[in-house]
Structures are given as structure tokens and as C-alpha cells.
Structure 1
Amino acid sequence: MSEVYRLAGLEDAERLQVITYEAYALIRELELHWPAANADLAQIQDNVTQNECYVLEVEGKIVATITLSKGDEVKAITDLPFIKWFAVDPGEQGKGYGNKLLTWVEDAIIRDKVGAPAVTLGTAQKHPWLLPMYERRGYESIHAFDPGNGDGVMHLLRKVVNPAQFSIMNASVTNV
């Protein structure tokens, strides 16, 4: 089985829109105000060009996607990288593709390419399985807040991907 991890291009936007829209069905049912849940083609194209949007292809077909944000969504809280718009084709769920892509981004991109000691992402407390799933993967809540838009409590989660570097970073912050 051929698996390829790569940056998405504009030529992938239509497929990414289908995957994201279908994967975010529960987000719409829960009435969460997440931009990816209703993203049109132009928003998908903007995500691809303005951020680092990664995909996992299996046998030439994109089955999962995740974005490393180049924006400032969490800069008021942390300088750590922020990932968003994580989606797995519902027809391919349960095969480990989401886990593989997230692990690859944590290791190859965040730790090795970016050189960051940890990564962040956000999720809603009212989602029935996302928060526990991320916690099982080693993420911990570092900031909880209610945006006041009906989403309820949102959590900014962090996962340490380079423990030695994270310890050094924390020691330097503590000694300031």
C-alpha cells in the first residue's frame, strides 16, 4: 500500500472541501462555529495558500488532511505552533489514517522541521469524543474559555513533541 505525506496544492482544493465538509458533519450538528465545518471552495483554497495544509494520500487518493496555521489564532496565549482543520474522509475512518497523519505532522513537521518543543490545537468540550481522543494522544488542556458564541467551553490543548527542548524552554521561562 502506497502512503504519501505531502503539502496540499490548489489542485487538491476540491477533494479537500469534500473531505472536510463530510468529516465535519457532527460539528455542524453540534452547532459549533468552526470555520472548516462550512468552508466553501474559496476558503479551502485560502487555507491551502495561506497556511501549510498537509495531506495523506493512500494509493493516490487523499484520505486525511491537517493544517499548520500561519495565523495568530493563539498568539495571545502561546507562541507554539497551532494545528487546525484536521479531517479524515468518513469512508476511510477507522483505518488509522488520521492517527498516522497527526503523528507525522507532530514529528516530521512540528518537531523536526519547525523545531518547536510542543504543538497546540483547539477543541470543544461538548464534542462527544474529540477531547478524550486528544488526551489519549498526550494532549493536555492549557487554556479553557467560553467564546460566548454558543460553542460552550473550548480547550486549547498542548502536546510536547520534544521533551528535552520543552524542559529547556520551561527552565528559561522560570528563570526570567
Structure 2
Amino acid sequence: MGDVIRLATLDDAAIVHDVSIRGYKPLKDMDIKFVGATADLATVEENIRRNANYVLERDGRIIATVTVAFPWALGERSIQPYPFIWWFAVDPEFKRQGVGTALLDYVEQRVLVDQIKAPAVYLATATRHPWLVSIYEHRGYVGFYEHEYEGDNIVFLRKVLNEELFAELGNVEVLVNQE
């Protein structure tokens, strides 16, 4: 049957929750307070309802998940006017097998470039994690903003997906209203 990437449904919530909790365990062990590390089932269900939550299935088994949020569509404040990637987790049994790369490649190219026509995408991670920032930089993400969250220094990284459209719109700076 092979690998299939699709949008998650509410029927997938329990499995997405399990993959997230197990995938985020190393971050939780480092006391990095990301939602995916501590979410309950209701939070996973809400994420699936409100955002585009993609899963990668291998032979019918969900082994990775990533969410693309469109905060402006929900009337929420956002740092950038671009889609936001978050809640990315791979089942620990499948780490270092290209599963995460395949899922992110699909979301970036097939969804954000081909379907949405997004000029850029952004994400955030803790700077003290030993390898996450460098993984995203290797994928073409560039840091543009740092912020403290729950005692951690968080870096926001952006990847330009369509140079021409991004140039047309200009390099939009941070949009957060500091309150």
C-alpha cells in the first residue's frame, strides 16, 4: 500500500494524539513547553477542526503529523501574513527514515506552493533544542524574530516558497501587536 499523505479527520484524533505525545517526548523531557508535548485529546480534536492537519500513513498506519494554520482566516493575530507550520511530529519508530522530510516536502510543495500559492511559510522552535533550528535552516528556513515563551527563547523562521510573489509583496516584517 505504501505511504499516503492526507488531511486528518476527527476519526484520526486519538492516533494523532498518540503520535504527537510520543514524538514530542524528547522536547517534554527537555522541559520545552510546546502544545504537542502536553496536548490532551480535546486539544488535538480542536486542532483538526480549526486547521489543516496532515498525516502521513504507511500501510494504513499514521506515523507522522503536521499542521498548517491560517490564523488570519480565524480572526487571530499572527506574526506573519503567511501560513504557519506547527505541531509537527513523527512516530519515534520511524525517526531518521525520511518520513518527516516527505511530509514537510508535500505540505510545502503540493499544498502551499501548488494549491495555496503562498509566497512564504513560517514556523517556530525553541533555540535551546540541540538540532531543530539547524534542521529547519538546512531546509531553507531563515530566522527573522525571537520571542520568549513559557521561559524559552523561541525563534521564528521563514521560508520563501515563491521568490517572485514574495518580492511583489515586499518583505513583510513582524506584525504582532505588542500589548
Q: Describe the SS at the equivalent of 2:112.
A: helix
Partner of 2:128: 126
Equivalent residue for 1:112, pick from 104, 111, 114: 114
Q: Describe the SS at the equivalent of 1:14.
A: helix
Equivalent residue for 1:102, pick from 104, 107, 112: 104
> Aligned-pair distance for 1:75?
4.0
Percent of counterpart pairs with the same letter? 39
Partner of 2:93: 91
CA distance in 2, matches of 1:90, 1:41: 19
CA distance in 1, matches of 2:43, 2:137: 29
Shift in alpha-carbon separation, 1:170–1:60, aligned structure 2, 3 A: same
Q: Answer yes or no: is 1:49 the counterpart of 2:49.
A: yes
Q: Quick check: 2:71–2:78 contact (8 Å CA) kept in 1?
A: no
CA distance in 2, matches of 1:163, 1:87: 28
Q: Describe the SS at the equivalent of 1:86.
A: strand
What amino acid is the match of 1:70? F
CA distance in 2, matches of 1:83, 1:39: 17
Long gaps (5+) in structure 1: none
Partner of 2:79: 77
Q: Quick check: 1:141–1:157 contact (8 Å CA) kept in 2?
A: yes
CA distance in 2, matches of 1:76, 1:18: 28
Shift in alpha-carbon separation, 1:94–1:172, aligned structure 2, 3 A: closer
What amino acid is the match of 1:127? H
Give the aligned CA root-mean-square deviation in angstroms.
Answer: 2.0
CA distance in 1, matches of 2:88, 2:46: 16
Shift in alpha-carbon separation, 1:50–1:125, aligned structure 2, 3 A: same
Q: Deviations over 1:102-124 (max 9, x none)?
A: 01101111112221111000001
> Aligned-pair distance for 1:23?
0.6
Aligned residues: 171
- Residues 25-36 of structure 1 mapped to structure 2, 5 A cutoff: 25-36=25-36
> Aligned-pair distance for 1:142?
0.9
Partner of 2:9: 9
Normalized against structure 2, the TM-score is what? Answer: 0.89
